[in-house]
Amino acid sequence: MLLHLSMEEKLLSQFEAIADGLANEGIAVIDEFLNSEEVISIVQLEEFKHDLSHFRKAGIGKQEGKQINESIRGDFIEWIDRATALPPIRIYLERLSQLMVFLNQSLFLSLKDYEVHQTIYPVGSFYKRHLDQFKKDDRRKLSVICYLNENWKEEEGGQLRIYFPEGSKDFFPISGRLVCFPSNLLEHEVLPATRERLSITGWMLDVA
Ligand code: OGA
Ligand code: MN
């Protein structure tokens, strides 16, 4: 007989795998956090119709220290407002909320909220090696990225390169994959790709 996992069981086993990855490897990489229909319904939204003019060029740092520096990062971002998010995106946001509750319980964290933006890296753009926590602002505890690129091929590049003490490791931005790591610990970079690279990028915060 085929083992048939219900939606809740599948989600729970993914959440457990994320907690295990964070606790044991210092990073979690989970495929099919969004299934391919869920990804397609997000990228088909108006906001993801490759209209870069809707997107703001991403800056570096916060408020007064903020600057746009294309030699460091070339992505375009659009912050997601939870109150007005469209249903396909809301599915993802609700899953993040559940994940946050789960991680608080299983890893004794005190995550209270999250912030997320849609991200487009145009062909050839990159984000140089950096840490996600700002110098004067340590609210960001966990970085959480979900990729939205159907049929990504390794030769297209666009790896997330994570620098561990023992060396770096690359992860391709494949559709539905979730990558999660502590924002204050792991330096990382995004390598250029030969194809537009889409994601929803976010951070779990320890303040509401
Ligand atoms: C970021 C970032 C990684 C990725 O937005 O801070 O590092 O793989 N993104 O998109
Ligand atoms: Mn980053």
160 lines ligand 1 (CB under 6 A): yes
β partners of residue 190? 127, 160
Q: What is the mean pLDDT of the chain?
A: 90
Cα 44 from chain centroid (whole Å): 19
Looking at the CA of residue 160, tell me the nearest atom of ligand 1.
Answer: 8
Q: Which domains occur in the chain, in start order?
A: 2-58+83-205 (2.60.120.620)
132 lines ligand 1 (CB under 6 A): yes
pLDDT of residue 64: 52
pLDDT of residue 4: 73
User: Which percentage of the chain shows pLDDT scores above 90?
Assistant: 75
Q: Probe ligand 1: pick from 80, 188, 197, max atoms within 8 Å of CB?
A: 188
- Residue 46 CA to ligand 1 center (angstroms) comes to 22
- Residue 9 CA to ligand 1 center (angstroms) comes to 29
pLDDT > 90? residue 46: no
- Residue 159 CA to ligand 1 center (angstroms) comes to 10
Model confidence pLDDT, tens digit, residues 117-159: 999 999 999 999 999 987 778 899 999 999 999 999 999 999 9
pLDDT > 90? residue 30: yes
Model confidence pLDDT, tens digit, residues 169-206: 999 999 999 999 999 999 999 999 999 999 999 999 99
pLDDT of residue 78: 87
pLDDT > 80? residue 62: no
Looking at the CA of residue 188, tell me the nearest atom of ligand 1.
Answer: 7
Q: Are 123 and 52 in contact (CB under 8 A)?
A: no
Q: Are 149 and 198 in contact (CB under 8 A)?
A: yes
Looking at the CA of residue 179, tell me the nearest atom of ligand 1.
Answer: 8
